[in-house]
Amino acid sequence: MIILKYLFVLLLFCSHLYSTPKIEVRVGSDSDLPRIQEVFFILDQLDIDYELRILSAHRTPHEMMAKAQTLAQEGFSVCIGSAGGSAHLPGMTASETPIPVIALPVKTSYLDGLDSLLSMVQMPPGIPNGALGINQSKSAALAAAQIAYIGDHQVMQKICKLRNIPYTEHTPQSRVAIVGSRKKNLGIDFEKAMELFQAFNVEAIEYDINEEGFLSQAIESGCSALYFICDIQNEGIVQCQHLAKSTFLPFVVIPYFENKTCVSPMFFHQILSNEATLSMGINQFSNGVLYCLQIIGNGNPFVRNKFNEYRRDLSDSVKQKNKKLQEEKAQNGTYLKSWVSSLKN
């Protein structure tokens, strides 16, 4: 009996020693480390282990891709990708992994980090990144912890204590809370995005932001993320600030502009100065949904497999278009020629 007891303790000890970290932090250069040091301070404060790697999409593209492709198998639930300037590291990582990637832009000498932010945030449909504000290292650590340790009462309690948010027990389910501007017709892109939830068997529950206690309801019903449509031209920024302060659920924000015209990127500073706020690109409703599905996929193999299938289909459809173009070119390229000459006219 005593031997069994010792064996059990030894096993527990070994499992602790060999338990793989759930958070990978990858940086484009060691010169970024002092600028994002708070990531490590906060994770240490939460007693959360992490793996740190220096990988560059530009300087070590093959190693960077290889290490992105195995993130899920290695047991990681989330990746923080941080770089400065033409910062393609998090975006390229996101292309190669089904786990959610958090993009942390590093402040730069010449463009103040706006270059880093803008090269991260407006990802193409199908490949989301959760972008943070420039040098928002604390937010990176908190957002990563909230994703990786969702449903872990002990860690979540520590996070809430640090953030000064009340913690209520939360058991994550395949559900997402949809909040924000729904008085308007958000259009076909939004409808299609919501259909994605159905296709993945994930329930999307709409909450009225003006209804008192809706956040507690979302937590009680086990929502795994908050999908917030942030109407930038109206009350979105204020609502965003309020929500960010009040929730420990992964907070996925979709900046919404009604008119599809050019906009100044300065609003990003306002929404991304809030704690643990992860922004999609402007009007990227589907990417917001996919990002939530990546979070749920960490604990739901059906969603994870389906996400991988979705990615393969996306990639195949691009290859197919290129194949068609090459075939057409080989057959005299009449379509191509007439298309090019129509551009000239």
Q: How far is CA 313 from CA 71, 126, 127, 316, in A?
A: 21, 10, 13, 5
CB of 33 to ligand C2R, least distance (A): 10
The angle subtended at Cα 10 by Cα 7 and Cα 13, nearest 5°, is 155
Under rule CB under 6 A, residue 250 binds ligand C2R: no
**What is the spatial distance between Cα 50 and Cα 39, in angstroms, rounded to a whole number?**
10
- Under the binding rule (CB under 6 A), the answer on residue 113 touching ligand C2R is no
Q: Which residues neighbour 145 within 8 Å (Cβ) at sequence distance 6 or greater?
A: 23, 42, 43, 46, 48, 155, 159
26 touching ligand C2R, by CB under 6 A? no
* Site membership for ligand C2R, residue 36 (CB under 6 A): no
> Which part of the chain contacts ligand C2R (CB under 6 A), choosing from 26-34, 210-218, 221-229, 334-342?
26-34
Q: Does 29 bind ligand C2R (CB under 6 A)?
A: yes
Q: Residues 22, 42, 85, 193: which binds ligand C2R (CB under 6 A)?
A: 85
Are residues 272 and 133 in contact, defined by beta-carbon separation less than 8 angstroms? yes
> How many binding residues for ligand C2R (CB under 6 A)?
16
64/204 with CB nearer ligand C2R:
64
Three-state SS at 224: coil
Among residues 36, 42, 87, 159, the one that binds ligand C2R under rule CB under 6 A: 87
Q: How many CB atoms lie within 10 A of CB 153?
A: 12
Identify which of residues 69 and 317 has a Cβ nearer to ligand C2R in the complex: 69
Instruction: Specify the residue, 29 or 234, whose C-beta has the smaller distance to ligand C2R.
Output: 29
**β strands within 216-339, DSSP E:** 226-231, 251-256, 277-279
Q: What angle do CA 251, 286, 325 make, to 5 degrees?
A: 145
**∠ CA 327-61-139 to the nearest 5 degrees?**
115
- Does 101 interact with ligand C2R (rule: CB under 6 A)? no
Query: Interface with ligand C2R by CB under 6 A: which range of 42-50, 53-61, 140-148, 160-168?
Result: 53-61
Least separation in angstroms between CB 95 and ligand C2R: 12
The nearest distance, CB 82 to ligand C2R, in angstroms, is 7
Distance from chain centroid for Cα 204: 18
Element (H, E) at 154: helix 153-163
**One-letter amino acid identity for 226?**
L
> Would you count residue 306 as binding ligand C2R (CB under 6 A)?
no
Q: Least distance in Å: CB of 114 to ligand C2R?
A: 14
28 binds ligand C2R (CB under 6 A): yes
Smallest distance from ligand C2R to CB 106, Å? 5
Is 86 a residue that touches ligand C2R (CB under 6 A)? yes
Angle at 95 between CA 248 and CA 21, to 5 degrees: 50
CB of 314 to ligand C2R, least distance (A): 22
Residues of this chain that interact with ligand C2R (CB under 6 A) are 28-29, 31-32, 56-59, 83-89, 106
